[in-house]
Chain A
Amino acid sequence: MGLGAYVAVSAALFVLGLIAILVRRNVIYILMGIEMILNAANINFVAFNRFGSMKLDGQMFAVFVIILAAAEAAVALAIVLNVFNLFDSVKPSEADLLRE
């Protein structure tokens, strides 16, 4: 399998993640969409590293992105839990005290 296949998969994942974020109303799905985008970037990093005969920059980047994703998920879920306690809902559209 060539580089093109990997890049295609990653692009598809990126678009799917974007769609999930834009279409879904539930914040859990939105967070999953964000994870998909991060993993799309990861596939790119590893694939470019593998096919580009470069130094290990891409692999290293991917490892750090995994850590970032975990940290972000932890903070995000804590915030979502707090919002659920306050609003009895995990839909951003129902937390709407702040507006014009």
Chain B
Amino acid sequence: MNPVSPYLAGLRYVAPEVLLTLVALAALVWDLVLRGRDSRKVGYLTLGGLLATGWLLVQQWRDLGASSTGALGTTVLGMVTIDRFGTFFKLFTVGALLVVTLFVLFDRREKKHGIGEYYFLLLGAAIGIFFMVSTNNLLLLMLGLELLSLASYSLAGFHKGDKRSGEAALKYIVFGGLSAGVMLYGISLLYGLTGTIDLGVMGRGSADGSAVGLAAQFALSPVPIAIAIVLVLAGFAYKVSVVPFHFWTPDVYEGAPTPVTTFLAVASKAAGFAALLRFMGALFLVEGVDAAVAAYADRIGLLLAILAAVTMTLGNLSALRQSNLKRLLAYSSIAHAGYALMGVAVMTSAGFSAAIFYLAAYYLMNLGAFGFLLYFEGVTGSEDVDALKGLGWRYPLVSCAMVVMLVSLTGLPPTVGFYGKLLLFYEGVEAGYAWLVVIAALNSVVSLFYYFRVAKALFLTDVEEKPALAQPVLASVIAVLAVFTIVTGLFNAPLEAWSDAGPASLGIPSATGSR
């Protein structure tokens, strides 16, 4: 048999990734051909490429629906795993990228020429996310994560002459490089202890004895295992900005260009969560793990629960003091990382589903909230909450949409944010983390104060007569997101079914971990 043919057969599975890579290269080359003139053309090419990739992913999702496990298989050498979990996050990444690309195209303060690399870097980051969420192999996970990170560092510093942008990039790469190094060191220890870099083999041990499963190592060398897992978790914690690895978040989010902040807060963070869920699932929850491993999972879960509680409390309390809307949203995104982490901490299949659902909700409401921020930066040139005063009456559509986002971020009905939180709270109580649910509920009340402050500035202050400045594309994107936020909140069954399919396709039996 031709030695190359298994590789070629595997290409079918990574068709979306291949297409996205081609689009990224085409964007880069076309920008060079255009010599930096009219970068919007590159932006439209990017939009087209993303739509085509999305179409391929929808096809893949359908194929996955036909298979009983929700997983299609693995390409050669066990590098890329195609399952519903990964495809779900890829679809949302493409959706978020579409919105971010529109933000870049219609950002009034962005240059129209010489910014072709913007799209190339965004696409590069997306390719990183694609590989990151669909691999059980730690090497590919790390490469995807670094591809995402390197593109993000450059994007954060994209405005080269802007001091704040430069500072954001510097802080991002210092923290990012450190956490990537720490995570790699953790992976090297895990490799040494188990003899494999494949998460599936690591969780269960290999049949031929070439690799030792985690279960055997818990008894032999508990301390090195604990150190290794904590180091790897530190890398994930940085990516999703969980305390104590959140220091970079407010500064980077504030200094980076707003579309980039949107990308970091939404796509990058969700990708971090996806990789974390796959990591935890493959090591601790898949079918056939040892009893010792399951017991260990509870301990890790407790650690994550404590981190979740601290993260959401710190995020919300810090957000209370912010007068800068961008920084406020940055702290709010830290708080939401805490909520989503609850779903991971409960260490059950249903908890993972709840976390996936919440991340989907988080995509919708944060894309909308950052879109609103971009819209009003274009109008007022300022990021301050005070600058919004009375603007609600002049821009009713966008402002009403923002109020919907704020209601959803707070977690009130009838929005998707409410249902997401409801699922998380329910699974939290089910798994015996009632204390965590109480803290989360109190935090939601706290968050009401600062979210309401934005709504108050918009509507409850006097109108200042000035001609309105129309940004129709941004306005319609935000309005569509707001409609989605309400519709998926009211009719949540399909989204819930999709997020339930995720853990099942990872091979996590639905009854695990219930105490």
Please state if B150 and A72 are interface contacts (CB–CB under 8 Å): yes
B179 to chain A, nearest CB (A): 10
The A-B contact count (CB < 8 A) is 132
Most B CB contacts (10 A, CB to CB) among A31, A42, A82 go to A82
By a CB distance below 8 angstroms, the chain A residues around B166 are 79, 82-83, 86-87, 95
Whether A37 contacts B185 in the complex (CB less than 8 A), given A61-B139, A75-B154, comes out as: yes
B188 with A99: CB separation less than 8 A? no
User: B160 interface residue, CB < 8 Å from A?
Assistant: yes
Interchain CB contact under 8 A, A65 and B184: yes
- CB A9 to nearest CB in B, in angstroms, measures 13
Given contacts A41-B184, A68-B142, A75-B154, contact A98 B164 (CB under 8 A): yes
Docked complex: B172-206 residues within 8 A CB-CB of A? 173-174, 177-178, 180-182, 184-185, 187-189, 191-192, 195-197
Q: Give every chain A residue within 8 A of B251 (Cβ-Cβ).
A: 98-99
* Residue A5 CB within 8 A of the other chain: no
Residue of A nearest to B184 (CB): A41
Q: Quick one: closest A residue to B198, CB to CB?
A: A57
CA distance A86 to B166 in the complex (A): 8
Q: Is the CB of A76 within 8 A of B173?
A: yes
In the bound complex, how far is the Cα of B191 from the Cα of A41, in angstroms?
A: 10
The answer to whether B195 and A54 touch across the interface, beta carbons within 8 angstroms, is yes
- Minimum Cβ distance to chain B for residue A34 (Å): 4
A64 to chain B, nearest CB (A): 6
Residues of A within 8 A of B (CB): 7, 10, 14, 17, 21, 27, 30-31, 33-34, 37-38, 40-42, 44-45, 47-48, 52, 54-55, 57-58, 60-61, 64-65, 68, 71-72, 75-76, 78-80, 82-83, 86-87, 92, 95-100
Would you list the 3 A-B pairs with minimal beta carbon distance, nearest first?
A: A37-B181, A44-B188, A48-B192
Q: A31-B177, A61-B188, A71-B150 are in contact. List 6 more A-B contacts (CB 8 A).
A: A48-B195, A52-B195, A64-B142, A79-B173, A86-B167, A92-B174
